[in-house]
């Protein structure tokens, strides 16, 4: 059995630990934050905390068309409505979330479907093939999407604010 | 300061392992960090990543009425998929204050969510033993208050309408 020795053990910096590697020798590294988590390191401490639904934020100013990414939050701050497109099939997994909110005095948003087989459902209505949902022409409209079926993707819209149009 | 650890008796680490102290052995030994669903660790060469597992089989469940009644687990999301019969959910009978569950409607068979006495569902200024979705894509979130003697599941983040009973 291989025995590590002081010769192949790197020096640790604050918050680091020894982690096995393919090189055969341990490396000094801190824990990495994964989905929905934050890692805070300190001297002799590592805290992993839950971010809940605090998704990765993206602040958009006149961005043109934006392909949505799962588990991200988008804040629109544009004089023109921001045009979003749902992710291509198999990019998101069931349970993934996307949240879009509008900034005060900006022009709202549209979400188009990536292909004619994808659907967004809202309360009691589906989008038509190639359709869209919209919170355009108003300030502070918001929506959250969750993927409930994959390939072709089916998203359910909820936690909405403002007038949502579904086509 | 030079590295002063006496590491000469440490066993080799595999990919993603670290040293954890073992009180039985009286020394640190190689081990993987353990997680409880829906948390998961992803290991690589010299790296450990901790996060929520987005695998649908762990934290998000698609269920139809064939598995009724469906006892919910805190921290999880449920997607009822039945197209003809109601999918019945039961809120967790044990929970810690602030723990949450949510249901995202999908199937046309709709869904019903019950609380187990003495728990009840608080929704607005009403109390209910169970709530029933009234349309296909109804959505509802709950968090647990743990108040005694009447612990409630507080409903919030509602989309669509629900019937209270």
Alpha carbon distances (Å) from B142 to A45, A55, B100, B137? 33, 20, 5, 17
Residues near A70 by beta carbon (within 8 Å), at least 6 away in sequence:
A87, A91, A92, A93, A96, A97, A98, A147
Kind of pairing, strands B111-114 and B87-90?
parallel
Q: How far is B151 from chain A (nearest CA, A)?
A: 23
State the pTM of this model. Answer: 0.75
Nearest to A6 among B8, B16, B139 (CB): B8
Alpha-carbon distance of A24 to A2, in angstroms, equals 9
A95/B60 Cβ within 8 A: yes
pLDDT in tens, A57-101: 777 777 789 999 988 889 898 888 999 999 999 999 888 889 999
B9/A19 Cβ within 8 A: no
Provide the chain A residues 7-46 that lie in CB contact (below 8 A) with chain B.
Answer: 9-11, 17-24, 26-27, 29, 31-37, 39
Nearest to A39 among B9, B50, B138 (CB): B50
Q: Is B67 helix (H, G, I), strand (E, B) or coil?
A: helix
Tokens, residue A114 = 């990536």
Kind of pairing, strands A82-85 and A65-67?
parallel
Alpha-carbon distance of B95 to B11, in angstroms, equals 40
Q: How far is B150 from chain A (nearest CA, A)?
A: 27
The answer to whether the complex's ipTM is over 0.85 is no
Q: Which residues of B118-148 are buried (b: 16+ CB within 10 A; e: fewer)?
A: ebbbbbeeeebebbbbebbbbbbbbbbbeee
Return the pLDDT at B2. 37
Alpha-carbon distance of A132 to A86, in angstroms, equals 10
Alpha-carbon distance of A14 to A43, in angstroms, equals 5
Alpha carbon distances (Å) from A90 to A84, A154, B24, B152? 18, 11, 46, 38
Alpha-carbon distance of A100 to A136, in angstroms, equals 12
Q: Is B65 helix (H, G, I), strand (E, B) or coil?
A: helix
- Nearest residue of A to residue B59 by CA position? A95
Return the pLDDT at A151. 96
Return the pLDDT at B110. 94
A156/B106 Cβ within 8 A: yes
Nearest to A149 among B17, B45, B106 (CB): B106
Question: Hey, of A158, A161, A164, which one would you mutate to test binding to chain B, going by the most B CBs within 10 A of its CB?
Answer: A158
Return the pLDDT at A56. 66
Tell me which fold the domain A56-166 belongs to: Jelly Rolls (2.60.120)
Return the pLDDT at B163. 96
Among B145, B146, B86, B151, smallest CA distance to B115 is for B151
Q: Which residues pair with B102 in a beta bridge?
A: B77, B141
Return the pLDDT at B5. 46
Domain boundaries, chain A: 10-50, 56-166
Residue located via tokens 């604010």? A161
Q: Which residues of chain A are under the pLDDT cut of 70?
A: 1-7, 51-56
Q: Which residues of A touch B103 (CB under 8 A)?
A: none
Interface A-B: count of C-beta contacts within 8 A: 150
A146/B104 Cβ within 8 A: yes
Q: Which residues of chain B are under the pLDDT cut of 50?
A: 1-5
Q: How far is B34 from chain A (nearest CA, A)?
A: 13
B79 and B110 Cβ atoms separated by less than 8 Å: no
Return the pLDDT at A52. 61
Alpha-carbon distance of A6 to B4, in angstroms, equals 8
């Amino acid at each position: 059995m291989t025995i590590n020795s002081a010769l192949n053990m790197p020096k640790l910096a604050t918050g680091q630990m020894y982690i096995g590697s393919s090189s055969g020798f341990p490396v000094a590294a801190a824990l990495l934050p994964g989905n929905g988590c934050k890692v805070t390191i300190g001297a002799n401490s590592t805290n992993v905390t839950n971010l809940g639904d605090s998704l990765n934020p993206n602040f958009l100013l006149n961005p043109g068309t934006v392909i949505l990414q799962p588990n991200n939050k988008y804040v629109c701050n544009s004089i023109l409505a921001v045009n979003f497109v749902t992710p291509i099939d198999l990019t998101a997994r069931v349970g993934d979330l996307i949240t879009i909110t509008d900034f005060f005095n900006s022009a709202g948003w549209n979400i188009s479907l990536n292909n004619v087989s994808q659907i967004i459902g809202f309360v009691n209505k589906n989008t038509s093939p190639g359709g869209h949902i919209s919170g355009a022409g108003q300030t502070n409209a918001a929506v959250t999407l969750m993927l409930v079926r994959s390939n072709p993707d089916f998203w359910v819209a909820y936690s909405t604010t403002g007038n949502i149009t579904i086509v | 300061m030079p590295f002063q650890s006496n590491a000469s008796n440490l066993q080799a680490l595999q990919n993603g392992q670290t040293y954890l102290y073992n009180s039985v052995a009286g020394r640190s030994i190689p081990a993987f960090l353990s997680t409880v669903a829906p948390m998961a660790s992803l290991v690589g060469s010299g790296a450990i990543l901790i996060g929520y597992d987005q695998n649908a089989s762990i934290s998000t469940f698609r269920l139809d009425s064939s598995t009724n009644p469906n006892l919910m687990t805190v921290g999880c999301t449920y997607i009822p998929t039945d197209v003809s019969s109601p999918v019945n959910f039961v809120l967790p009978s044990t929970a810690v204050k602030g723990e949450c569950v949510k249901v995202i409607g999908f199937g046309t068979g709709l869904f019903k969510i019950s609380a187990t006495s003495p728990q009840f569902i608080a929704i607005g200024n009403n109390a209910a033993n169970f709530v029933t979705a009234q349309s296909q894509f109804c959505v509802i979130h709950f968090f647990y208050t743990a108040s005694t003697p009447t612990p409630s599941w507080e409903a919030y983040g509602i989309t669509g309408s629900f019937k209270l009973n």
